[in-house]
Amino acid sequence: MADEKEKTGKVPHYLSYPRFLWRALVESTEGNRWFYVWMTFLTALALVGANAWAHQVADGMILTHMTDHVSWGLYIANFTFLVGVAAGGVMMVIPAYLYDDREMHDVVIIGEILAIAALIMALLFVVADLGRPDRFWHLIPGLGEFNFPMSMLSWDVIVLNGYLLLNLHIVGYLLYKRYRGEKPDTRWYIPFVFLSIAWAISIHTVTAFLYSGIGGRYFWNTAILAPRFIASAFVTGPVFIIVSLQLVKRFTKLPIPEGPIQTLISVVKVSILVNLFLLGAELFTEFYTGGSHAKSATYLFFGYDGHTGLVPWIWTAIILTLISAVMFLHPLARKNFAFLNAACILAFAGLWIEKGMGLIIPGFIPSPLGEIVEYSPSLVEWQVTVGVWAFGLMIYTVALKIAIRIITGESNLHAELGTTDGEA
Amino acid sequence: MTDPTDDTTTVEANDGGIDRRTAMKALGATLGAAAFARAMAPLRSWSADQSMDEFLQQHYKRLSDEDMERILRRLEQETYDEYGAQVHIDDPQPIPGVQFGYALNLSVCNGCRKCVEACHIENNHDRSTNNSYIRVFEMEQGSMDFEKGTADYDHTVPAPGKYYMPVQCLQCDNPPCVDVCPVEATWKEEDGVVVDYNWCIGCRYCQAACPYHARRFNWKKPEIPTGEVNPVQAYLANRIRPAGVVEKCHFCLHKTRKGGAPACQQACPTGARVFGNMLDPDSDIRWVLENKRVYVLKEDLGTRPRFFYFFD
């Protein structure tokens, strides 16, 4: 064993790294029947989205139902929600590295991979929302004209891409070392892990500042928007991971200990209540004060002037979140996985509405000049949305598969070299 | 067969299986690539319409005089190719010592919307959506609340118990739309806020930030019959906008920077509109500012508009 280790240790990086990438490609195209069914299904949905987007670029954004009055819609709603999911992945990193939770440490990579997939989806939603995606390069610092530090959107470009790179580095480095059968050098990842913890908070804070910094939109112009975003991120990220952990346990050889799921349940239990509390505090201020500040909230919750487009959405969100909160508080959540998963799905769906359609759209209604123009997404918008989610899930699935095969040792350089040597 | 590695193990043990699997993979990849190309096909006709010159064009402030000359000629050619109209596009600069201001007499305005129509024609707006930079609100006498007003009135004006309030870009001195733009596609010049339609990425953050609903987005390519295209155009002003970018009122700078009056003012039959150089002590606008009790919209937001309202 010692000999073999030494032997792999001698393999130069310019040979082992391409091999590592090749292995990743092989792992992402190999699998059992269910893997192929799942990936084909996602590919089909992603293609529908790609086609809808191509039409939108060619014919103009007239194919969406956005207007000059409601100028952001389903895309920016999904973008906002997904930044939260990406930030929520940090709720595995914090216990693993700040509290030295060994069991969490063994599976923390799932949270980091979720961050990568969610960020890619978030960025794709931004691209889908651009009227001129061909001018994307105008946003690249150095190449284009970057309005930093004035524009919050330029901050968002930096923090989102930075967080993506941080997680790609951490995940890539750890897997590569593992693949080579070496112990990772803490200097090359621990500082990045700690940076990523602070960075995770920053991505959702900056995303909240996008909206809360706008003085002319009273519904968004509130200091607790960023705390609200963080609170819901710490629900949506963990609930997604709780379900993921069980799927990983079911479909792979990676041992999933009981501890991490229980820790995440505790996180969700607190966060979901904090989120409801902050929402309540917001609504009290809106409705007790009344006046023009409360008009968007009135429209959202009760309808305004006979316009009730968002009322069913927001009450669905509130009811789903409340039921989920009660379920998480129930002792059964810790024992019965079916019960737990139902609670997770309810929370995810509820917050997808609350931090999406329930937050972005009412900011535009009524308009700053008091006009009410309602919005509901067009078919093209739904197709693009489903396509981006499908593509994101493909990335998540493939990345998890590569990572798990390497962690369990099913994919490793030493074994491969052994075979190659034998054949040569 | 729940163990996902079952298949792989079998395959590794069976050489013939590898070949079959590789063939299947190659077929899958080919089909996938073909399907992707097919899905993206609408982009092909679109990209054929985009010129490489336009794609690589630099930010307005980084363009040399020669660059601008070439771009203006290219835009004229494109306008001819796409709209069949011979137009002249130039790029007039702000006049030193000139700061445009606009004042509107609400006691006189009768809501006829001639200004709306003049803007529509002057600025080469899309005919199918009847777009204009100006919207006129019919307001309740005794209230300044827009929610009690409407921009969709359709009857003889002036109606009893109503007054009329035209709203367009207020050319703020502290414009939130400029702050939020991630690529500096919109900025404040000496005499007003402008947009480079060839630099805007269409994120519409400025639309969200504007408290006056002054900005419009080109949800599609504007449609204008050849004979109706206004041929006197400027780069930062009324040239026909591409799809997917934001636009707004620019105080008709293609005329006003050459000493002319904005189209809306020229069209107004009541004399409600007063436009001019706020730095010129003898100008009409200066007289109004000094002698009338003027106010601006949403002064509490700190945007410092250069568009004022007053009553006689």
Helix (H) / strand (E) containing B90: strand B88-90
Instruction: Say whether residue A290 is in contact with chain B using an 8 A CB cutoff.
Output: no
Residues in B closer than 8 angstroms to A29, CB to CB, are 25, 29
Distance from CA of A71 to the nearest CA of B (A): 7
Considering chain B, what is the average pLDDT of its residues?
A: 93
Condensed to tens digits (0 to 9), the pLDDT of residues A336-388 reads 999 999 999 999 999 999 999 999 999 999 999 999 999 999 999 999 999 99
- Is pLDDT above 90 for B4? no
Give A 215-274 residues with CB within 8 A of chain B: 215-217, 250-253
Instruction: Say whether residue A295 is in contact with chain B using an 8 A CB cutoff.
Output: yes
Instruction: Say whether residue A5 is in contact with chain B using an 8 A CB cutoff.
Output: no
Q: Taking CB atoms and an 8 Å cut-off, how many pairs form between chains A and B?
A: 198
Q: How far is CA B218 from the centre of its chain?
A: 7
Residues in A closer than 8 angstroms to B25, CB to CB, are 29
Residue A167, burial from CB neighbour count under 10 angstroms (0-12, 13-18, 19+): buried
Assign B2 a pLDDT band (cuts: 50, 70, 90): very low
Distance from CA of B41 to the nearest CA of A (A): 7
Residues in B closer than 8 angstroms to A126, CB to CB, are 203
Condensed to tens digits (0 to 9), the pLDDT of residues B222-253 reads 999 999 999 999 999 999 999 999 999 999 99
Condensed to tens digits (0 to 9), the pLDDT of residues B104-127 reads 999 999 999 999 999 999 999 999
Q: What is the pLDDT of residue B17?
A: 53
Contact flag A215-B176 (C-beta cutoff 8 Å): yes
Residues in A closer than 8 angstroms to B8, CB to CB, are 30-32
Instruction: Say whether residue B217 is in contact with chain A using an 8 A CB cutoff.
Output: yes
Domain range list for chain B: 6-39, 100-310
Residues in A closer than 8 angstroms to B213, CB to CB, are 68-69, 367-369, 371
Assign B22 a pLDDT band (cuts: 50, 70, 90): confident
Identify how many contiguous H helices and E strands chain A contains and give both numbers: 16, 0
What distance separates the 2 farthest-apart alpha carbons in chain A? 80
Instruction: Say whether residue B137 is in contact with chain A using an 8 A CB cutoff.
Output: yes
Q: What are phi and psi of A75, to 5 degrees?
A: -65, -50
The CATH superfamily of A2-419 is: Formate dehydrogenase/DMSO reductase domain (1.20.1630.10)
What A223-231 contacts at long range (C-beta under 8 Å, 24+ apart), as own/partner pairs, is: A224/A278, A224/A281, A224/A282, A227/A278, A228/A275, A228/A278, A228/A279, A228/A282, A229/A80, A229/A84, A229/A204, A229/A205, A229/A355, A230/A87, A230/A201, A230/A204, A230/A205, A231/A271, A231/A274, A231/A275, A231/A278
Residue of chain A nearest B34, judged by CA positions? A47
Residue A253, burial from CB neighbour count under 10 angstroms (0-12, 13-18, 19+): middle
> Which of A57, A144, A251 lies closest to B43 in CB terms?
A57
Residue of chain A nearest B4, judged by CA positions? A32
For residue B88, list its beta bridge partners.
B232
- Is pLDDT above 70 for B6? no
Residues in B closer than 8 angstroms to A69, CB to CB, are 213
Q: What is the pLDDT of residue B251?
A: 98
Instruction: Say whether residue B182 is in contact with chain A using an 8 A CB cutoff.
Output: yes
Assigned architecture for domain B100-310: 2-Layer Sandwich (3.30)
Q: What is the pLDDT of residue A10?
A: 72
Q: What is the pLDDT of residue B18?
A: 64
Q: Which residues of chain A fall short of a pLDDT of 50?
A: 1-6, 8-9, 419-424
Contact B287, B272 (CB under 8 A): no
Q: What is the pLDDT of residue A2?
A: 45
Residue of chain B nearest A361, judged by CA positions? B208
Assign B24 a pLDDT band (cuts: 50, 70, 90): confident
Residue of chain A nearest B246, judged by CA positions? A131
Please tell me the distance from the alpha carbon of residue A258 to that of residue A106, in angstroms, as a whole number: 12
Average of per-residue pLDDT across B266-290: 97
Q: What is the pLDDT of residue B28?
A: 87
